[in-house]
């Protein structure tokens, strides 16, 4: 059974990674959900099977490990919050552009700062930058 769960986690990771690398925001959100489900399956698979971890219900060597279960529950809550945020951002993007495709950013656009080769700009930058020589610190 552990092999089936490990293969399921691997499949969820691979499909989630493929979807996250797409340019549509809806596919990215679904891919992120699949990645978090794969992480949850992997954490639950890593735990030890056994009886419920209640004091006095069984010998301590037969109790289940509660840490992977707690980590999986925490990951579910965090992934819910991240998914809600991404859905809100996707809705806002769709309302502004009527599309959920992410456009490529070519980097910073043309600068509005004056060119350093402009003599007036270079003169303006040089004013007030002079430090008096001699004297030293007192």
**120 lies in a domain?**
no
CATH (domain of 90): 1.10.287
Mean pLDDT, residues 42-67 taken together: 77
The mean of the pLDDT values for the chain is 80
What CA–CA distances, in Å, run from 110 to 77, 117, 120? 42, 16, 20
Q: Torsions phi, psi of 111, nearest 5?
A: -75, 145
Domain count, the chain: 1
For residue 101, the model assigns a pLDDT of 80
- Start-to-end CA distance of the chain, whole Å, equals 78
pTM for the whole thing?
0.66
Q: Torsions phi, psi of 130, nearest 5?
A: -75, 135
Q: pLDDT digits over 79-92, tens only?
A: 999 999 999 988 98
For residue 121, the model assigns a pLDDT of 56
* Measured distance CA(88)–CA(96) in Å, rounded: 12
**109 lies in a domain?**
no
**124 lies in a domain?**
no
* Measured distance CA(10)–CA(72) in Å, rounded: 17
DSSP 127: T
For residue 19, the model assigns a pLDDT of 95
* Measured distance CA(138)–CA(129) in Å, rounded: 21
Beta partners for residue 51, in sequence order: 63
Supply the range of the domain harboring residue 43.
Answer: 2-54+63-97
Q: Return the CA Rg of the chain.
A: 28
For residue 46, the model assigns a pLDDT of 82
Dump the DSSP string for 13-38.
Answer: HHHHHHHHTSSBHHHHHHHHHHHHHH
């Amino acid at each position: 059974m552990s092999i089936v769960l490990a293969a399921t986690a691997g499949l969820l990771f691979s499909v989630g990674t493929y979807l996250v690398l797409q340019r549509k925001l809806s596919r990215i959100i679904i891919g992120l959900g699949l990645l978090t489900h794969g992480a949850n399956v992997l954490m639950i698979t890593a735990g030890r099977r056994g009886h419920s971890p209640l004091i006095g219900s069984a010998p301590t060597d037969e109790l289940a490990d509660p840490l992977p279960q707690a980590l999986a529950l925490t990951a579910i809550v965090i992934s819910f919050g991240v998914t809600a945020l991404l859905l809100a951002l996707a809705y806002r993007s769709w309302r502004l552009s009527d599309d959920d495709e992410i456009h490529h950013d070519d980097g910073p656009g043309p600068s509005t700062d004056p060119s350093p080769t402009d003599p007036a700009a270079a003169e303006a930058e040089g004013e007030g930058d002079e430090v008096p020589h001699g004297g030293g610190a007192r």
